[in-house]
Structure 1
Amino acid sequence: MAMDPNALIQRDLKAVPGWAVVAFLTIMPLLVLPAAWLLRDRGMVVLLAAFFGSALLAIGLTMAPLGRQALPALALGRMAWRSILVGTIGALVVSFAVTRFGVEPQGVKEALDVARGPGFFLESLVVMAILAPLAEELVFRGLLYGWLAGRWGGSVAWLVSSLAFAAAHVEPAHAILVLPLGLWFGWLRRRFDSLWPSLVAHTANNGLAVVAATLLDV
C-alpha cells in the first residue's frame, strides 16, 4: 500500500509519530482535568473554552520538538482557495442534509441554548466556531491522520480519523450525525493534502449553526 507523504514520518518513521500521539494523549488529560475542576462552576461556555484550549496547548507542546517540521506535519502549508471553497460548500450541503433527519442531540441543544442566552452570543461563537474546529481539526485531521497515513496509507487514515472524530462526540445521536461531516472533512484532508480546507469548512459550518440558532432562532 502506498504511503502518503507526511513530515511527521520523514524524520523518524518509527519513533516520532508514535511519540507524538502518546505525548498528546498524556498531556491532554493533565491539562484539561485540573482546568475542568477549577472552572467547574463557571458554566458550559467557560468549560468548553478550557477543554478546547487545553487541546490546543497539548498539540502545541506535542509538536514543538519537531520545530520547523511541525506545520508541514500537520498539513498546514499554503492555502488553495479553490479547495477551501469546495470544502466549505460541501460541508454546508452535508450539514443541511443531516439536519433534515430532525434529530437534535442533547449536548448540541444545551450548547445552543446557552448561546441564545443574553450576553453569550459572541463568547459562544468564539468557542464553537473558532476554538472547537481548530482543536478538532488539529487533533483528528492533523496529528491522528498524519500518524495513520504514515503507517497504513490515506484510506485507513481517512476512515479511522473520521470514526474517531465521530466517537469523540460521545453521545450516540451526536456521533452518528457528525460522522458524515467527519468523512467529508477527512476526504478533504486526503484529497488536497492540506488541513486548511477542512479547517475553514468546519469553522464555517459551526459558525453558521451558532448564528442560525441565536440570531435566527432556527
Structure 2
Amino acid sequence: MMDRAVVPAFGQVLFAVALGYAGVVGAAVLATALVGRPLGFDARETAFFLSVGLGTAFAVGAMSDLPWRRALALSWPADRRIVIRFVAVLLLVLAIEATVAASGLLGSLEDIKAMSSSERSWLGFLNAVLLAPVVEEALFRGLLFTRLRRRFSAWPALAIVTLAFGLLHIENGLLHVVSVLPAGAFLSYAREVSGGIGLPILLHACMNLAIVVAGTFL
C-alpha cells in the first residue's frame, strides 16, 4: 500500500497540472473577449506553464510540510565535475543524434524537420528554453521526486517520476510519451546525483534548445 506521506505529492502534481489547463482556458476566454480572436499555440503554452508554476508554488506553500528550498530541491551541485560530466554526456548524445539525422538513417531531413516541434517565435523560444525547463523540473524533479525519495530508494523514485513526466505529454499521443521517457530518466538521474534541480533545469534547457535549433536550421 502506498505510504500516506506519498499520496499528497501526487495530489499536488495533479493540482498544478489541472491549474495549468484551467489557466489556458481562462487565458483563451480573456483573449477572445478582449481582442476578438483565439490564442495561438505559443501563447497557450505560456499560459499553461505560468499556471502550472503558480500551482506548484501554491502546493508547496499551502500543502507541503517542508520548507520551500527542501520541497523543491532548490540547489546547485557543489562539485563542478558533476555538472561537467552530465553536460558532456548530453553533448555526446546530441552529437550522435545529429550525425544519425544527417546520415538519413531516420528518414529525409524534410521528414525530420516536419516532426520537429521547434518554436520559431520569441514566445515559443521562451517557453522552450526557460518556462518549460524551470516549471517542469520544479514540479517533477523538485516537488514530486523530493517527496518520493523520503519514502523510496533512488530507482523506484526515478522510475515513478520519469513515468509521470512522460504522462504530462499524453496529449501529444502515446508515441510522444514514450519518446520523452529517456530524457525524463536522464534528468531524474541528474537530480539524484546532483541533489537538486539546478542541474536538471540546465540540461532540460539545453535539450529543448537543441530541438529548436535543429528545427530551425535543418
* 1:108–1:139 CA distance, 2 compared to 1 (3 A): farther
Cα distance in 1 for partners of 2:165, 2:44 equals 20
Q: Normalized against structure 2, the TM-score is what?
A: 0.76
Cα distance in 1 for partners of 2:180, 2:112 equals 11
Cα displacement (A) at 1:36: 2.6
Cα distance in 1 for partners of 2:143, 2:114 equals 26
Written as runs of structure 1 = structure 2, the 5 A alignment for 1:1-218 is 18-39=7-28, 41-65=38-62, 69-80=67-78, 81-97=80-96, 100=100, 102=106, 109=116, 111-112=117-118, 115-116=119-120, 120=121, 122-170=122-170, 171-214=173-216, 217-218=217-218
Residue 33 (structure 2) aligns with: none
Residue 34 (structure 2) aligns with: none
Pairwise CA RMSD:
2.9
Structure 1 segments, 4+ long, off by >6 Å, are 103-107
Residue 10 (structure 1) aligns with: none
State the identity as a percent. 24
2:88 aligned partner, one-letter code: I
Cα displacement (A) at 1:194: 1.6
Deviations 1:196-217 (A, max 9, x none): 1111111111112212322xx2
> What secondary structure does 1:147 align onto?
helix
The structure having more radius of gyration, on CA atoms, is 2
Deviations 1:77-115 (A, max 9, x none): 244333223223323434555674738899963x42xx3
Cα displacement (A) at 1:32: 2.6
Which deviates further from its counterpart, 162-171 or 152-161? Answer: 162-171
Cα distance in 2 for partners of 1:168, 1:108 equals 19
1:145 aligned partner, one-letter code: F
> What secondary structure does 1:102 align onto?
coil
Unaligned runs of 5+ in 2: 30-37
Q: How many residue pairs are counted as aligned between the two chains?
A: 196
Cα distance in 2 for partners of 1:97, 1:134 equals 26
Cα displacement (A) at 1:152: 1.6
Q: Normalized against structure 1, the TM-score is what?
A: 0.76
Cα distance in 2 for partners of 1:148, 1:183 equals 15
> What secondary structure does 2:67 align onto?
helix
Cα displacement (A) at 1:24: 4.1
Does the CA-based 8 Å contact 2:73-2:143 persist in structure 1?
A: no
Unaligned runs of 5+ in 1: 1-12
Does the CA-based 8 Å contact 2:21-2:48 persist in structure 1?
A: yes
